[in-house]
Amino acid sequence: MVGIIPTSEALQLAVDAGMDLVEVSPNDRPPVCRIMDFGKFKYEQKKRLSQKTNKQHQTQLKEIRLRPKTGQHDIDFKVKRAKEFLAQNDKVKVNVIFRGRENAHHERGRQILEGVMEMLEDISKVEKPAGMEGPRAMSMILAPK
């Protein structure tokens, strides 16, 4: 803390110290400056930013595929996997794929999706409700709460 001094004196102090004179807040009257090693400051700032981005989790969309004839035990197993995905803060897309004569029974696919939704309602919220996606697939998207 040097106080209010002319710019030329501040520059001379910075040169004598072997550092840079950096303007911290130019909008104040008088402007606030600091004597520091600007290269080191930029390096530390970049390092802090990279550490922050490393700790962030990139949300992914995980997919679970079912069929209208899928048994209850298999559905329970898929729901267990979906819980793991949701615990990792990933979104889950639940697909029911119809083939051949199964296409006539879309209500069965809707029942399966509603059952999955009920099993996961405590840890997830519906982002996109159950609906047909093309002629052969019905899907919904769940996001973690």
pLDDT digits (tens, 9 = 90+) for 35-52: 999 999 999 999 998 888
Q: Would you call 122 exposed, middle or buried from its count of C-beta atoms within 10 A (0-12, 13-18, 19+)? A: exposed
DSSP single-letter state for residue 100: G
- 2 belongs to a structural domain: no
68 and 98, same domain (yes or no): yes
Q: Show the domain range for 78.
A: 61-144
CB 106 within 8 A of CB 115: no
Q: What is the DSSP letter of 102?
A: G
* 135 in the same domain as 83: yes
Q: Which of the residue ranges 26-30, 65-69, 100-104, 134-138 would you say has the lowest mean pLDDT?
A: 26-30
Composition of the chain by helix, strand, coil, percent to 5: 45, 30, 25
CA distance 122 to 108: 23
Residue-level pLDDT at 114? 94
Give tens-digit pLDDT for 75-129: 999 999 999 999 999 999 999 999 999 999 999 999 999 999 999 999 999 999 9
Rounded to an integer, what distance in angstroms lies between the CA atom of residue 122 and that of residue 23? 52
Q: Are residues 47 and 88 in the same domain?
A: no
CATH number of residue 121's parent domain: 3.30.110.10
pLDDT of residue 1 exceeding 80: no
103 belongs to a structural domain: yes
Do 86 and 139 belong to one domain? yes
Tell me, yes or no, if the pTM score tops 0.75.
no
Reported as a single tens digit per residue, the pLDDT across 11-30 is 999 999 999 998 888 888 88
